[in-house]
Amino acid sequence: MNHLRWNPLLKTYTLIATNRIQRPIFPDECPFCPGSGKIKDTYDVLYLPNEFPVLSNEFKAPIQENGSFFKSGASYGQCEVILYSPDHFATLYDLENSHVEKLIKLWRDRSLELSKNASIEYIHIFENRGQEVGSSIHHPHGQIYGYPFIPLKLKTELDSCKEYFLQTNKNLILELNAQEESEQKRIITSNKSFLAYIPYFAEHPLGVFISSRRQKSFLTDFTNEEITDLAMILKDVTGALDAVYKKPLPYTMSIHQAPHKSKEYFDNKNYYSLHIEFSPVLKDASNVKFHGGSEMGAWANISTKPAEESAEILRNALQIFKKAGR
């Protein structure tokens, strides 16, 4: 039975999802392709309910004895799948700019709709690309989770940004942007609305941030012009990542936006800005960078390259990608 279990050491929840064991593997067929009989025959971008959700308003909390030391709760929330294209082999950079804009607007519209769910405290949009990060279906797609709490990584970011603002009256993420742009060592590319760079403290080789130049807390804050610019830079970054090793690079892409109705972070527009984090998992062309004892046991991440070296590699890869006319 799916439910939440409180971890008092880390002050966050573990999600128990027993239904995930039942997820099928599709070696010879794709349920997301038109004609599969499982989805619409025609679409550009599409959202679907996740058939094996971690979170749902149908899940009930387990019965607990009064006075129990341990604490659990219901896995209330929502999980959706976002299909990027009907083309089984498409990548983000293969798609027309207008098509990627449709995808971003679908992310925005679903975020707005999920924010109306009283059970949901945080909306997380992400993509697991490749078997190395747990993707069971090759078709280009991502997911949206609506959590009944603010996940620990996001809460830590929010707390750090709020503390920095109270000390300096400045937005920490915009300060990071300004510093990276002034040094130029780790910048990959930029346009009027966004910067793409490998941050000084990057946890992964090729771990790119795409960050808004202006303070924007949510996807719903972006203008149509900014959505166009985001589509362009997403295509450039994903194209460059694949050009590094001349093959599809497995990664996790996560959109970090503010919580939409938190009392604790009601003033987030003062100090938090939306950004997108890429976490590629290869350390070279043929070897996966596994998280080991330091990362898993102590949360002390180890990167095998300083960000400056990785940024130079990715800038060169972007030029190769551009010359190929992709």
Domain count, the chain: 1
Residue 201 CB coordination number (10 Å):
10
283 pLDDT band, cuts 50/70/90, is confident
289 pLDDT band, cuts 50/70/90, is confident
Q: What is the pLDDT of residues 179-227, one digit of tens each?
A: 999 999 999 999 999 999 999 999 999 999 999 999 999 999 999 999 9
Q: Residue 126's pLDDT is what? A: 98
Say which residues have a Cβ less than 8 Å from residue 209's Cβ, sequence separation at least 6.
Answer: 195, 196, 197, 198, 199, 275, 276, 277, 278
Q: Residue 314's pLDDT is what? A: 98
324 pLDDT band, cuts 50/70/90, is confident
Sign of the C-alpha dihedral, residues 132, 134, 139, 143? negative
What is the chain's mean pLDDT, rounded?
95
Q: What is the pLDDT of residues 231-254, one digit of tens each?
A: 999 999 999 999 999 999 999 999
The CA distance from 96 to 138, in Å, is: 20
Q: Residue 27's pLDDT is what? A: 65
67 pLDDT band, cuts 50/70/90, is confident
One-letter amino acid for residue 240 of the chain:
A
Q: Residue 38's pLDDT is what? A: 86
Which one is predicted more confidently, 325 or 309?
309
Lookup: tokens for 292: 């080991």
pTM listed for this prediction: 0.96
pLDDT at 315 over 80: yes
For position 297, which CATH number holds?
3.30.428.10
pLDDT at 26 over 90: no
Is 256 one of the catalytic residues?
no
CA distances from 161 to 33, 176, 275 (A): 42, 11, 13
Of the residues 3, 124, 141, 204, which is catalytic? 141
Enclosing H/E stretch for 298: helix 298-298
The CA distance from 205 to 287, in Å, is: 12
Q: Residue 146's pLDDT is what? A: 98
12 pLDDT band, cuts 50/70/90, is very high
Residue 179 domain boundaries: 3-323
pLDDT at 326 over 80: no
Q: Residue 281's pLDDT is what? A: 93
18 pLDDT band, cuts 50/70/90, is very high
Q: What is the pLDDT of residues 75-90, one digit of tens each?
A: 999 999 999 999 999 9
The CA distance from 276 to 234, in Å, is: 10
Mean pLDDT of the 102-124 span? 97
**CA 3 remoteness from chain centre:** 23
pLDDT at 290 over 90: no
The CA distance from 296 to 289, in Å, is: 13
The CA distance from 188 to 313, in Å, is: 9
Backbone angles phi, psi at 37, to 5 degrees: 85, 0
Say which residues have a Cβ less than 8 Å from residue 322's Cβ, sequence separation at least 6.
Answer: 236
pLDDT at 63 over 90: no
DSSP 8-state symbol, 316: H
% of the chain beyond a pLDDT of 70: 99
Q: Which residues of 149-187 are buried (b: 16+ CB within 10 A; e: fewer)?
A: bbbeebbebbeebbebbeeeeebbbbebbeebeeeeebb
Residue 325 CB coordination number (10 Å):
5
Residue 64 CB coordination number (10 Å):
11
Q: What is the pLDDT of residues 150-185, one digit of tens each?
A: 999 999 999 999 999 999 999 999 999 999 999 999
Q: Residue 232's pLDDT is what? A: 98
CA dihedral 25, 27, 32, 36 (to 10 degrees): -110
CA distances from 297 to 292, 293, 300, 301 (A): 7, 5, 8, 10
pLDDT at 28 over 80: no
